[in-house]
Amino acid sequence: MGRSLFGTDGVRGEANKHPMTAEMALRLGAAVGNYFGCHKTQSNRVVIGKDTRQSGYVFEYALTAGLASTGMNALLLGPVPTPAVGLLTTSMRADLGIMVSASHNKFQDNGIKFFGPDGFKLSDEVEEEIEDLLVNDISLAAVQDIGRAQRVDDGLFRYVERVKSTFPSGMRLDGFKVVVDCANGAAYRAAPEALWELGAEVVAIGVQPNGKNINEGCGSTHPELAAKAVLDHEADVGLCLDGDADRLILIDEKGHIGDGDQLMGLLAARWAAEQRLSGGALISTVMSNLGLERFLNTRGIGLIRTKVGDRYVVEQMRAGGFNLGGEQSGHIVMTDYATTGDGLIAGLQFLSEMMRKGKPASDTLNVFAPIPQMLKNVRYGEGQTPLEQPKVKKAIESAEQKLKGQGRLLIRKSGTEPVIRVMAECENDALLSTIVDGVVDAVEKASSI
C-alpha cells in the first residue's frame, strides 16, 4: 500500500473529514495494536496523551476502542505536551505511545502521532507496515483478552519533575520575570508550574483553553502577543510554545523575536566549548538559515541538513550518534534529555545560558547575523498538483538561475497541510522578493485552474 496516510508527523487533517474520522482512528488503533502485539517488547500497554482540542475526545476514545479490541491496555494521560508521551512511554514500560494533536495547526485540525517503546517517533518503514495492516483483516482478541483503559492522574506531575531535572543543579530563577505563552494548548498547566517551582515570577498567557482557541492568535505561530506582554510587564524573556509544546520561539526583553536557528547556534557553541556536543555537529533541516551554517563553521562545528520534519532530524541524530538538533520553527531536540522536541526544556536551557553569561536575553539570543530569508505559503485544493504544472516548473527553473551563486531556493509541499512552501535566501533584498513572488505567483495561478 505504501505511505499515503502518514505525513511528516503522523496522520493529520481536519477533524471529522478523511482521514481524521472516528472510524479511521478506530482502525488505526486496531492496526497498531496488531502491529505491536506481534512486535511486543514489554507489555500490552499503550500511553495516550492529547492536547486541548475539542475533537481530542473523539480520537482518544476511538483509538482506545481499537486498541482494546486487539488486547492492548490504554493508559490515558489527558492533556499533556507531546514530549511527555515520549517520556512516559519509556518510564511506564509501554509498547507504544500515542499523541492526539495537530501541533501548531488551527483547532479544526487534529492529528495522531505514534511513538515506539523507546519513546521515539516511528520510522517511515514502520508506518508503511501499519498502513498495510489497514487494508487487510485485523486480528481481534478473544473476548477474555480484550484490553482495558484507565486514567493516569500523575502523568503531568511526572513530566514537570523531569523537565525541572534538566535545569542545572543549584540554579534558581529567582529575580527572573518570565512570560510564557502556552497557546491555550497542552502545556497550559505544566509550563507555568515548572517555571514557578524553579523560582521565576511567571506571567502566563494562553492558559485558558476552551477546546477551540488553541493556537488562536497566540503561541509560537503568533509570538506578537507574548512580545507585547514582555514589554507591558517589563519581563526578562518570553517563551512561546505551540499547541502541543514541542516547539519554542523566544522573545527578548526588547520584544524582539528569536527563532530556533538562533537557539540551536547558542546551544551548539556552548556544548562544543564544554566538549559535550556529540559528533561535533548540529543536525537541522534544509530550512535553517545559511547564517547559522556560517556561524557554526567558524567554530569548527558541522551542520548536517535533513528533510523538513523533526522526526527526520531525530533519525539522523540517532543514526550518527549526535545529541543536538532541531528546526528553525522551534523544535529543539536534545536527546540527552528527551526523545523529541521539547519547548519547555529548550526554554530552560536558554534561561540557564542567560544566567551563566549574566547578560540580557537580547545579547544571549542573537548569536549570528541571519541571511535575509523569505518564506511564503500557497494553499492548494484537494487533488491539485501545482508543482507538476509546466509553468510552475519553468518559474522555479528561472528563479534558480537568477539566484545561482547568490543564494538558494527551496520549494516543498507541507507534510501536514495542503500548502506549498516557497523559501529563498539572498543578501540582495530586491532579488529575494522578485524570486519568491515570481514562484508564488506561478503556483497560485496553477492552483486556481
Q: What is the 3-state secondary structure (H, E, C) of 98-117?
A: EEECCCCCCCCEEEEEEECC
Residue in 238, 333, 218, 224 with CA at minimum distance from that of residue 278: 333
Residue 20 CA to residue 22 CA, distance in Å, equals: 7
pLDDT value at residue 37: 80
**pLDDT for 355 beyond 90:** yes
User: Confidence class of residue 367 from pLDDT cuts 50, 70 and 90?
Assistant: very high
Between 293-297, 320-324, 413-417, the lowest mean confidence (pLDDT) is in: 413-417
| Amino acid 357: pLDDT | 94
Average of pLDDT values for 43-48? Answer: 93
Q: With 80 as the cut, is the pLDDT of residue 75 above it?
A: yes
Distances (CA, A) of 175 to 1, 178, 202, 339, 430: 57, 10, 11, 31, 45
For residue 352, with 0-12 CB atoms within 10 Å meaning exposed, 13-18 middle and 19 or more buried, which class applies? middle
Residues 6+ apart with CB under 8 A from 2: 128, 131
State yes or no: pLDDT of 433 exceeds 80. Answer: yes
Summarize the confidence of residues 398-411 as an average pLDDT. 91
**Is pLDDT at 294 greater than 70 in this prediction?**
yes
Banded model confidence at residue 113, pLDDT cuts 50, 70, 90: very high
Q: Residue 405 — very low, low, confident or very high, per pLDDT cuts 50/70/90?
A: confident
DSSP letters spanning 212-251: S-TTSS-STT-THHHHHHHHHHT-SEEEEE-TTS--EEEE
pLDDT at residue 14 greater than cutoff 70: yes
Gap between the Cα atoms of 354 and 51, Å rounded: 30
- Which of 103, 284, 288, 447 is flagged as catalytic? 103
Contact (Cβ atoms closer than 8 angstroms) between residue 408 and residue 290: yes
C-alpha cell at 93: 514500560
Model confidence band, residue 40 (pLDDT cutoffs 50, 70, 90): low
Indicate the range of 34-43, 140-149, 247-256, 331-340 predicted with least confidence.
34-43
Percent over 90 (pLDDT), the chain: 90
Lowest mean pLDDT among 31-45, 399-413, 428-442: 31-45
Say whether 169 is catalytic: no
pLDDT at 116: 94
pLDDT at 3: 67
Q: What is the mean pLDDT of the segment spanning 234-247?
A: 98
Q: Is pLDDT at 324 greater than 80 in this prediction?
A: yes
C-alpha grid cell for residue 84? 511527555
Q: Which three cell numbers stand for residue 234?
A: 517589563
pLDDT at 381: 87
pLDDT of residue 48: 98
Mean pLDDT rounded to a whole number for the chain: 94
The pLDDT tens digits of the residues spanning 179-191 come to 999 999 999 999 9
In this model, does residue 230 exceed pLDDT 90? yes
Least confident of 238-252, 331-345, 435-449: 435-449
In order of start, what are the domains of the chain with their CATH numbers?
11-153 (3.40.120.10), 158-256 (3.40.120.10), 260-344+360-365 (3.40.120.10), 373-447 (3.30.310.50)
pLDDT at residue 317 greater than cutoff 60:
yes
Confidence of residue 43 (pLDDT cuts 50, 70, 90): confident
483478552: which residue's cell?
145
The pLDDT of residue 346 is 98
What's the average model confidence in pLDDT over 147-167? 96
Closest CA to 361 of 261, 257, 260, 288: 257
pLDDT at 407 over 60: yes
The three-class DSSP label of residue 375 is strand
pLDDT at res. 42: 63
